[in-house]
Structure 1
């Protein structure tokens, strides 16, 4: 059996997953309560709202994911699944959102890897502290006045071993994009990583949402 050159990875947003579960619990609780305790048209309105809202919550929170394999990058966004051979990807761009730019010029947003400006600012502050510590000649988290709580300051500097090479502190999503860029450089010219881009619409999400919207509008119009 041939060992893959690149290990498959799945990237998802933990914050979106947690938020999605909480929203589903709240929507489900309110909707079921209205279904069984409501009067008149209320149960039907609650049913229509559930059919509309639940797929949308799933689409924007639980569904988004990025699957990075040896030959393909598969992007699962709220309403589309885009399968991109590495050979068709021109670049991976990070700005106010993370995007894949293909050679034809089209771009696809990576919903599962959201940009956090707050995390970038925190990473920049940690980087500035690390550079200050280096200038002062500190070699570990316990040196000088930075001991004690300094070792628990974040993902970077404080937890780095004495023999581990220091590098720039990066936000987590920026690290993910760096990892994807490395894979693109490694696999972009591989023969097995060539092919056509495939875009599939997520009708399994769109159809229930549209049905719920139609039912809700109809019930509101009937009164």
Structure 2
């Protein structure tokens, strides 16, 4: 569920990030999005090729209404972090928050970013209550075994990389990612390049085609 590029930045600029972006995204969400787009593409092509009357036109008009939101909500969400800023790419907005402006992250029923006096949802890190319960039971079992002097399950070995925090295998994935990002925020808040204002921009390449497709779909249906 976490993709990481830990290669040090080779740029010559002195104020550039020391490490390339570390990337967090929901792999099941990406897989679900690819499958939905594949099935929808097959149905739309079949309707255009084999459909009669207004069916091909309805299918073509419905394509952007379905495809762009699905891509936005499954493939687009991602969180990228380096030693200067946190980038949160949500379905319809992109938030860039320098570490000095990050006030904290919270993982409740969803992950929330508090930065620049504002609150943003983090779509790329979905919270699984089931994972959290399993992690809690696993930690309680390990604590009981340690108290009784019994053997505990070994943790998976990971190769340490300078400058990067490894996710805690004893926590749910979302909680571990939030803890890692919170640690990065505290560690990098004093960096000279980590200052600035929070920027939130709308993703018009998703919004505009969806609205145009919706207008076209309503027009075609009304003309039938």
Spell out the pairing of 1:117-136 with structure 2 (5 A cutoff).
117-136=129-148
Q: Which residue of 1 aligns with 2:161?
A: none
Q: CA deviation at 1:119?
A: 0.4
TM-score, scaled to structure 1:
0.85
Q: CA deviation at 1:169?
A: 2.0
- Which residue pairs with 2:96 in the alignment? 83
- Following TM superposition, by how much is the alpha carbon of 1:189 offset from its aligned partner in structure 2, in angstroms? 2.3
Q: Which structure 2 residues correspond to residues 101-120 of structure 1 after superposition, within 5 A?
A: 101-104=114-117, 106-120=118-132
CA contact (8 A) 1:6 1:183 kept: no
- 1:180 is aligned to 2:181: yes
Mapped to 2, the partners of 1:171 and 1:27 lie a distance apart of 32
- 2:39 equivalent in structure 1: 26
Contact 1:74 1:84 in 2 (8 A): yes
2:27 aligns with 14
Q: Does 1:66 align with 2:103?
A: no
Q: CA separation in 2, counterparts of 1:206 and 1:136?
A: 58
CA deviation profile, 1:26-82 (whole Å, cap 9, x unmatched):
101111100100001000000011121000110000000001011111111001111
Secondary structure of the residue aligned to 1:170 is: coil
Cα distance in structure 1, aligned partners of 2:18 and 2:144: 39
**1:89 Cα deviation from its structure 2 partner:** 1.0
Q: What is the alpha-carbon root mean square deviation over aligned residues?
A: 1.8
Count of residue pairs the alignment pairs up: 201
Query: Matches of 1:139 and 1:118 in 2, distance apart?
Result: 25
1:7 positional shift: 5.2
Please name the residue that 1:215 is paired with.
Answer: 216
Tell me the TM-score normalized by structure 2: 0.84
Counterpart position of 1:48: 61
Report the structure number with the largest CA radius of gyration: 1
Paired with 1:8 and 1:168, the residues of 2 have a C-alpha distance of 21
- Say whether the 8 Å CA contact 2:87–2:94 is kept in structure 1: yes
In 2, Cα distance between the equivalents of 1:168 and 1:159? 7
Structure 1 window deviating more from structure 2 (118-127 vs 131-140): it is: 131-140
Counterpart CA distance in 1 for 2:130 and 2:42 is 33
1:36 pairs with 2:49: yes
**Residue 119 of structure 2 is aligned to residue 98 of structure 1:** no
2:22 & 2:44 partners in 1: Cα distance? 36
Q: Distance in 1 between matches of 2:173 and 2:97?
A: 23
